[in-house]
Structure 1
Amino acid sequence: MENVDQVLNVIETAGWFAPVLFVLFHLIRPFVFVPVLAVCLLGGYIFGPVYGAAYSYVGLMSVSISFYILIGAFPKIRANLSRLKNKVLKGREDVNVMQLLILRVMPFMHFHVLSFYVMESSVSFKEYVEKSAIINLSPAIIYTAFGGLIHELHFVGVLVLASFLLLLFFFARSKNGSIPLQDFMDGRHGP
């Protein structure tokens, strides 16, 4: 976490170069195991919701494109992602773009598993980029908006918001199990 604080400090003091450093931070994020949520929140905190969302979107698109290019060079990672994708999506091959848009903002969904699904379901690089351009909008806008909100709140407001989110998380969990992804995707999660 100390490294993230150092990166944050460098970005905040970089002036006009800060957006470039922020996009580069998006690119190194997967290698230092920082979640997409955290980076987009930082974008909203540092740059505000509008510029933060724009810079996060550029960063997420850069990650998506570099993922597509690099995944071919690492067959072992490709095989691992394929197994993980099959485990998460349970062989379901008809997830549409709107469903991917929703899945992209779920913090427990691995960014690259969804990117891998989009890559495998696309017939060309162009189609992959087009789908990625749509599904990367949701985290860039939603997560960054929360980062901007946190920046505008007083410390007490941040504590209240964090407490509310923790309570929501606690009450939203299921004591009897979980909803299978296929049932969620089909809308069969009601009583």
Structure 2
Amino acid sequence: MDLTEFERALENFINQAGLWAPLLFIVLHLIRPLVFLPVIAVCIVGGFVFGFVQGAFLSFIGLTLMSFISYMLINKFPRFRAKLASLKDKLFPNRNLTVTQVMILRIMPFVHFHLLSFYLMEMTPTRREYMYYSALGLIAPSILYTAFGRAISEFPWYTTLSMFLLLAAIFSFIDKWQKQKARTE
């Protein structure tokens, strides 16, 4: 099947799904971790199928619901919490991230979604505050992945690597700035 046939098949599916299409897309965000789909891939599909504005909005809703489900799962299943704590210790040993750093990491396509949710849970005392910061941190990825996801995935490897290094530098700068700020207080 070539791209044109795929586009027609997708368009037919969306036309037949009608009002169910947005709901099915949100459900796709919720089952995404179970089928090992990266966030960026689902957001790209949203932009392709629904256009930029509706795709970004639906991705934001789906990712926010996924954050809420993550919160519930992490609190409900101690083994899941323990696995995330172990992953956190492996990836970021002896490091406390700020909310801003977690938001920057949410923009990076291949950083573990639930791990970042776990970090936010540790930083926020209530579910309400967690959901506030989580939703706030999902605005940028929803917009960027939907608008630029296709372009980013088609960039040459060196451009993608440069973008990743730029985000890593911003992340590092904020880390150093926070440590400097903590020392002066």
User: Shorter-chain TM-score: which interval?
Assistant: 0.7 to 0.9
> How far did 1:186 drift?
2.1
1:17 partnered with 2:8: no
Q: Provide the rounded CA distance (Å) in 2 between the counterparts of 1:168 and 1:52.
A: 25
* Contact 1:92–1:182 under 8 Å retained in 2: no
Do the aligned partners of residues 119 and 161 (structure 1) sit closer, same or farther apart at CA in structure 2, a change above 3 Å counting?
closer
Alpha carbon RMSD of aligned pairs, Å? 2.9
Correspondence for 1:99 among 98, 101, 119: 101
Percent identity (aligned): 42
State the TM-score, normalized to the length of structure 2.
0.77
> Higher helix fraction: Structure 1 or Structure 2?
2
Do the aligned partners of residues 144 and 170 (structure 1) sit closer, same or farther apart at CA in structure 2, a change above 3 Å counting?
closer
Q: Any stretches of 5+ residues in structure 2 without a counterpart? A: 1-5, 178-185
Q: Provide the rounded CA distance (Å) in 1 between the counterparts of 2:78 and 2:13.
A: 34
> How far did 1:173 drift?
8.4
Do the aligned partners of residues 124 and 49 (structure 1) sit closer, same or farther apart at CA in structure 2, a change above 3 Å counting?
same
| Alignment partner, residue 181 of structure 2 | none
Correspondence for 1:136 among 124, 128, 138: 138
Corresponding residue SS for 1:108: coil
Q: Provide the rounded CA distance (Å) in 2 between the counterparts of 1:45 and 1:85.
A: 34
| Alignment partner, residue 89 of structure 2 | 86
> How far did 1:29 drift?
0.4
| Alignment partner, residue 129 of structure 2 | 127
Do the aligned partners of residues 19 and 73 (structure 1) sit closer, same or farther apart at CA in structure 2, a change above 3 Å counting?
same
* Contact 2:56–2:142 under 8 Å retained in 1: yes
Q: Provide the rounded CA distance (Å) in 1 between the counterparts of 2:128 and 2:48.
A: 32
State the TM-score, normalized to the length of structure 1.
0.75
Correspondence for 1:34 among 32, 37, 51: 37
Correspondence for 1:145 among 144, 147, 150: 147
Q: Provide the rounded CA distance (Å) in 2 between the counterparts of 1:173 and 1:128.
A: 26
